[in-house]
Amino acid sequence: MSITQFKNTATLPLDESSPVAVPLGTPVAVASTTSVERDDGVETGVWACTPGRWRRQITAQEFCHFIAGRCTFTPDGGGETLHIQGGDALMLPANTLGVWDIQETVRKTYVLIF
Fill in the DSSP letter of residue 7: -
Q: What percent of the chain has pLDDT over 90?
A: 94
**pLDDT tens across 52-62, in order?**
999 998 999 99
Fill in the DSSP letter of residue 23: B
**Cβ contact 48:98 at 8 Å:** no
Give residue 79's pLDDT: 87
| Confidence category of residue 2, pLDDT binned at 50, 70, 90 | confident
Task: Give the H or E element holding residue 58.
Answer: none
**pLDDT tens across 69-100, in order?**
999 999 999 889 999 999 999 999 999 999 99
- The structure's pTM equals 0.94
Distance CA 54, CA 29 (A): 8
**Cβ contact 65:89 at 8 Å:** yes
